[in-house]
Amino acid sequence: MASPAICDRNNRNDGENGSRSMGLCGKVMNKVVEFPIKLKKLGQDDPRRIVHSLKVGLAVLLVSLLYYVQPFYNGLGDTTMWAVITVVVVFEFSVGATLGRGLNRIMATFLAGALGFGVHHLANISGEIGHPILIGIFVFLLAASVTFIRFFPRMKARFDYGLLIFILTFCLISVSGYREEEILEMAHKRVSTILIGAFTAVFVCIFICPVWAGDDLHNSVANNIEKLGSFLEGFGDEYFKVAGNGESNRAHLQGYTSVLNSKQSEETQANFARWEPRHGKFRYRHPWRHYLKIGHLTRQCAYRIETLNGYLNSEIQTPLNIQSNKVQELCMKMSSESGKALKELAWALKTLTVPCAAASSHITKSRAAANNLTSMFRTSSAAAAGVGGDQVRLLDMVPAVTVASLLSDVVAYAEQIEKSIQELASFPHVQFKSAEPKTLQSCNTSSSNVGPHRVITMDRLASLQVQEPHKGIGTKLQRVSSAI
């Protein structure tokens, strides 16, 4: 009994080794051939990468000129290297990241330099034996405590680099065996060169094709909403096989998967964006943290869509023989209208326009479809669910009912995404186009009172199944208990 498994494992090892030794040359050749193709693709995917690389080259070149301009070099000497080091380590892809690192580096160097100088002075007056002991104690305590502070999530998010440089500079200044006058001169030179380096990096970063982390965050949140919209627009046709050959479309629908894991990149971008000055459409104190809330809602919606996507691969081709035409029509309406609504919302967010008429109308329609479905489910008994009185197997109802239920969740999330974008528009530092109070008010009214499409029922199904996804984003979904 045991031998086949052993053989299998041995064969596998042999096979692996064989292919490894035989194919090594081929693999290396493949990699060499593929390299330029990959390089090209990397640049095509985001041409800003090429610009960024050239900008780094330029900044390093500029700062290395310090070595060749005699007056500078005579003044700064060997410490010129700190300018080069600063440019290389501070220059990041976005303005926010570069500014954050630059400010962290300058402030940390300044503070730690002053503290280090104080400790050095204290150690000097404590005699020859006391000197190393005192310095040792200080270095140990400071390195340990600042390292511990780096574990605070808030500190890590914004000041991690500064804290690192703080430890580094403090150790360099306090430990160094120089005399105090030398230290003062060294500190002066070092701060100057770091300032020169940081300013060079920030200058090149801001004034040559700047990449704003805020813009990236703004666009990425809007694009994520759009991706969900695209899925929902295509889902109905794909699921109910209305379109002819669905295979090609199905791959097209998978764009939403990147939304599932977008949390960390959004948080990083939001932290960078907070360092950025006013630029383009955004004022200085733009509420970047609110984007994280919109992003959270988008991901919650994406989890439901991920579950929905599982039903696309179902082999039950025509599951809806329960009132098929009507249920299919309503599901397709929920899907396509909420998809359109999300696309409208994405567009509104991207262009900073108050989402009003179009988005609200699509949301109203999708909510109306959900309510229609709910009331249909309420009024029909399961026994009467067959088409033309046919008996229906429960099994055939399962996917249809589940899809309807998930779509109902999605509609509720679309409503909440709309609310959170309206909320963004109402922040004092945000300028949404045509954001006059009147428009906003009428917009709010139209999204809570649903107009002629609204059905005379509680939208119990949707309201009951969707948990309150985020505290403080907005009030609970308003329940409409009477119709207009």
User: Could you say which residues in the range 249-268 bind a second copy, by CB under 8 A?
Assistant: 260-261, 263-264
Number of residues counted as binding a second copy (CB under 8 A)? 114
Of 189, 279, 460, 470, the residue at the interface with a second copy (CB under 8 A) is 460
Is there binding between residue 28 and a second copy (CB under 8 A)?
A: no
Of 25, 181, 248, 438, the residue at the interface with a second copy (CB under 8 A) is 438
CB contact burial 320-344 (16+ within 10 A = b; e otherwise):
bbbbeeebbbbbbbbbbbbbbbbbb
Position 305: which residue type? I
Return left, alpha or beta for 265; rule: phi > 0 is left, psi -120 to 50 is alpha, else beta.
alpha
Q: Which stretch binds a second copy (CB under 8 A): 101-109, 361-369, 404-412, 414-422?
A: 404-412
Least distance from a second copy to the Cβ atom of residue 176, Å: 7
Of 22, 24, 28, 54, the residue at the interface with a second copy (CB under 8 A) is 54
439-446 contacts at long range (C-beta below 8 A, 24 or more positions apart) = 439/354, 439/356, 440/354, 442/356, 443/354, 443/355, 443/356, 443/360, 446/356, 446/357, 446/360, 446/364
Sign of the dihedral through C-alpha 237, 238, 242, 243? positive
Least distance from a second copy to the Cβ atom of residue 183, Å: 12
Least distance from a second copy to the Cβ atom of residue 462, Å: 11
Of 383, 388, 471, 472, the residue at the interface with a second copy (CB under 8 A) is 383
Of 99, 167, 195, 259, the residue at the interface with a second copy (CB under 8 A) is 167
Q: What part of residues 85-114 is at the interface with a second copy (CB under 8 A)?
A: 85, 88-89
Nearer to a second copy, 344 or 409 (CB): 409
Nearer to a second copy, 89 or 103 (CB): 89
Select from 329, 331, 340 the least CA-distant residue to 363. 340
Nearer to a second copy, 350 or 473 (CB): 473
What is the spatial distance between Cα 406 and Cα 6, in angstroms, rounded to a whole number?
47
DSSP, res 386: B
Asked if 480 and 462 count as a contact pair (C-beta separation under 8 A), the reply is: no
Q: Which two tokens stand for residue 461?
A: 């199904």
The greatest distance separating any two alpha carbons of the chain, rounded to the nearest whole angstrom, comes to 103
Least distance from a second copy to the Cβ atom of residue 341, Å: 20
Least distance from a second copy to the Cβ atom of residue 28, Å: 15
Q: Which two tokens stand for residue 275?
A: 């360092």
Q: What part of residues 112-141 is at the interface with a second copy (CB under 8 A)?
A: 132, 135-136, 139-141
Of 34, 180, 185, 436, the residue at the interface with a second copy (CB under 8 A) is 436
Site map 337..376 versus a second copy, x via CB under 8 A: -------------------------------------x-x
What is the spatial distance between Cα 367 and Cα 483, in angstroms, rounded to a whole number?
13
